[in-house]
Amino acid sequence: IGIKIAKKLYGRGAFQQEYQRRESQGLPPMADIDGQCYGSRVQGAPRKQWVELARAQPHKFLNVPNLHLSQAMIGRSLYVYPLEWWYALFPKQDLYFLCTEEMRDVSGEPVNKLGRFLGLPSYNFSSIISEGMYNVGGHKGYDKVTSWEEVAKEHGDENETLTIDQYQEEIKEDVPLSEEFRKEILEFFKPHNERLFELVGRRCSWDE
């Protein structure tokens, strides 16, 4: 439904050329996941389809009491679909894609690259990143830093002190998943992520 209604609403006008290009090259159409699967639509057809899917797969992650939770965790992790609309409307060279994980790089180089793309003066972000993370640990906004030590305690023993490098390694294993479920999740996201990587022209380390 996110595909059909999207084409009906946006198949002409600003996105008409992109729809025609995809059809002529046999590419998959764009989908409006946020517009059709959330908000006022959750009680309509998308929710009904999700319920039916969950019932048909009783042993899968889909079948949980809070269906909106699983919709949000899975549906909104399919980053390629909302981004395709931006890449259809603007030249690729005018958009900059940054993997969130790279912002933890204490060298500050990933953020520096973003700054150069935006035409900002060169700045050494390593000192700022070394202090910790922002907008985490119950501290909303970017006026309060949460030290790496505080962040580490939230993911382990409160008496444990981790270096930044140690924390980076530990966070990868922070969510306890069975190997079977981890494999299932990775296999599910793989084609969607590959579609994303092809769109933006680079990769993120999400298959680890």
What mean pLDDT do residues 5-14 have? 84
Higher pLDDT, 16 or 39: 16
User: Backbone dihedral region of 28: left (phi > 0), alpha (psi from -120 to 50 degrees) or beta?
Assistant: beta
Q: Helix crossing, 80-89 with 179-200: angle to 10°?
A: 0
Higher pLDDT, 93 or 43: 93
Higher pLDDT, 37 or 12: 12
**173 has pLDDT over 80:** no
At 33-61, the pLDDT tens digits run: 766 655 544 445 455 666 676 677 776 65
Is 128:108 a contact under the CB 8 Å cutoff?
yes
Q: In this predicted structure, what is the pLDDT of residue 163?
A: 54
**193 has pLDDT over 90:** yes
DSSP letter for each residue of 76-108: TT-THHHHHHHHHHS-GGG-----GGGGG-TT-
Q: How far apart are CA 82 and CA 32, in angstroms?
A: 7
**155 has pLDDT over 70:** no
Tokens 């999700």 — which residue?
Answer: 50
Percentage of the chain with pLDDT > 70? 69
Q: In this predicted structure, what is the pLDDT of residue 42?
A: 45
Tokens 């005018």 — which residue?
Answer: 94
pTM recorded for the entire structure: 0.71
What mean pLDDT do residues 123-145 have? 82
**145 has pLDDT over 60:** yes
Q: How far apart are CA 157 and CA 178, in angstroms?
A: 22
3-state secondary structure of 133: strand
Higher pLDDT, 112 or 137: 112
